[in-house]
Amino acid sequence: MRIIGLIGGITPQSTITYYQVLNDLAQQKYGGEHTAKVLVNSVDFGEISALQVAGKWDVLDTIMANAAASLEKAGASCIVICANTMHLCIEAVRNEVTIPAIHIAEATAEAIVEKQLKKVLLLGTKYTMEKTFYTDVLKSFGIDAIIPNQEDRNVIHHIIYAELAKGILSEKTKEKYLAIIEKACTEGAEGVILGCTEIPLLIKQNDVEIPVFDTTTIHATKAFNLSL
């Protein structure tokens, strides 16, 4: 397989999951003691988070583009941004490199289409839920997104940064997420996108009745298949 380039650190927890998924896939594919060929450019999440809050997406574009360029120079065959929210910078990355930069929303939309679903709940940071970079991709695949109300968005976002990004998992937090998902089911949600790469640490398919789309695993699998 060819080398996969990961822009990681956003957060360390999700980056670890990407690495684990890729190595599991390599072992399934090649057997024995085989592992995935991976390069990681790990950025400072504290810096990234502060720039997000400040709305300095132009600076974030530069950071992401430079990280991608360094991975390409080091031999990566494709680029994976290990965070849903930072796909706000995907065009800056694609403009900087000549290798594929795999869009997490596009990969997720493909998985939703495979299940022939048309209406799904989108969970993620407030940037992912409130800006259009994600929902626009879903629309282009004929998928409607249900976005939680303002109060629920605040809860989801706070938990991501205050708990999940730090590796804190609790049953009380899970119950809050499950209540939001249950509410969306009454609004016609046929599936739920775990549109933050830390949420799959908390919510699993066996926790809910509707299909769950684990964006971390979907994204990593797309990259693995491309690297073959």
Domains of the chain and CATH, by start: 4-103+217-227 (3.40.50.1860), 104-214 (3.40.50.1860)
Q: In which band, very low, low, confident or very high, does the pLDDT at 111 lie, cut at 50, 70 and 90? A: very high
99 neighbors 76 (Cβ within 8 angstroms): yes
CA–CA dist 116, 111 (Å, integer): 9
Burial 116-131 (b: 16+ CB within 10 A, else e): ebebbbbbbbbbbbee
207 neighbors 96 (Cβ within 8 angstroms): no
Work out the mean pLDDT of the chain and round it to a whole number. Answer: 97
This prediction's pTM? 0.95
Q: In which band, very low, low, confident or very high, does the pLDDT at 226 lie, cut at 50, 70 and 90? A: very high
Q: In which band, very low, low, confident or very high, does the pLDDT at 32 lie, cut at 50, 70 and 90? A: confident
